[in-house]
Each structure stands twice: as structure tokens, then as C-alpha cells.
Amino acid sequence: MIGLSAAALAACSSTRTPVVQEPMIDPYYQRMYGEVIGEPHRVAAMDLRRVDPKWWRQEVPYSTTERAGTLVVDTPQRFLYLVLEGGRALRYGIGVGKDESLVFRGTASIGRKAEWPRWTPTKSMIAREPERYGPYAGGMAGGEINPLGPRALYLYKNGNDTLFRIHGTTEPYTIGTSVSSGCIRLMNQDIIDLYARVPVGAKVVVINSPMVASISPAALAPAATF
């Protein structure tokens, strides 16, 4: 090493900062999950670098005996499907209840819909976590900090409110995990999209057991989107 020139020594000792390539996100999805304009409260754009693409809204093959227009909520797989014609479905990533015993299962219907809904924790939620939910026992008006987000679909069974909701979220980066108090959460852009597609009275099937999850393997692969 003694005979090496200064230039050679400099070349040996120099270090280069590696260039980190930012993931390229299709502009289509950037628009899909961009800031929503025209709402009474802000709906911020999603940073899709923080969300696995499998949770992004997309049309997929889906084999089911349910009629088009039915919602199938597959809690084990963390997906909600809006059944379409021709063996297809529109698939949304969801967040689910952190305790399986809190999650509704079976068949219900959309009893009502609400934009920027008021949120009131249930008595059982307050009993489980009084410090967290007690202050909101009287309810919270719709807005940016409301846990239901910009839209909510209310599930009814035999004419009665099940207290189970499909709604938006103030924690959009938890989609794909088990963190909610029992209801189903979607990214805010997704619940706005779903809300516009689903009428009151639509059938909802909630699967809450891996043994009965009837998903076509092809449904887990990305396909055409809209």
C-alpha cells in the first residue's frame, strides 16, 4: 500500500451513498387515493408507499353464489367484496376487530347510510375501555377526528340495528390489520366509493371463520381496476 498514489488511496477510502429508488406508483392509483375535493371536511391523500398494494381497491375474479350487488365481508382475509356480474367483484382492503368475539358474523342488510356520521361508542365499548370511550358517551359529531370517517353503512338484521358498521377511519394505515372495536374500516377514499355504489337494503354476508371463507384463489391476484 506504501507505493499507492494519493489519488488511489482516496479512491480506496471513499464511500458512496447508495441511491434509494422510490417505488413508482401508477398515477391511476395516485388519483384514486388522492385528496378528496368537495367534502365538508378534509379527506387527506393516502401515502400509498405505506400501504401494501394488495389492499388497494381493484376488480378481481370472484366465485360466489351471491347475487351481484351483495357485499361479502371476509374478515379472516381482510377483504370486502362487492359482487359484480360475470364472476367478478370489486375488492377493498379492510381493517377488522382485534377480538374475534366482537365481530358480527352471518347475513344482514344495509339498514341506513350516513355521510360524515355521528359516532357514539356502545355501552360494551365504554365498559371495556372507560378512559378511552367514556368521554364520548354522548356522541361525537362528524368530522376529521370522528372514528367513522366520511361515510358509514349500518348493518341491520330482522329490522334491528346490529351495531355493526362498515365505515372510514382516522387510522388509514391500519388497513389489513386487526385493530378495530369490532366494526369494519376501509380507507376513506374506499368507503366514499363503496357508499356511492351500495343502496339501502343491499345484502351483506360477513364471514368470520377461515373454515368457511369461500374465496377463489384467483381473487387474491391483482386484475383490472376501476
d(CA 20, CA 83): 40
Would you call 167 a catalytic residue per the annotation? yes
Residue 58 main-chain phi, psi, to 5 deg: -160, 155
Alpha-carbon distances, residue 54 vs 17, 98, 170, 172 (angstroms): 32, 20, 20, 14
Catalytic, out of 43, 108, 155, 183: 183
Catalytic, out of 57, 165, 167, 185: 167
Would you call 41 a catalytic residue per the annotation? no
d(CA 98, CA 47): 24
d(CA 22, CA 93): 23
Distance of CA 26 to the CA centre of its chain: 19
Active site residues: 167, 183
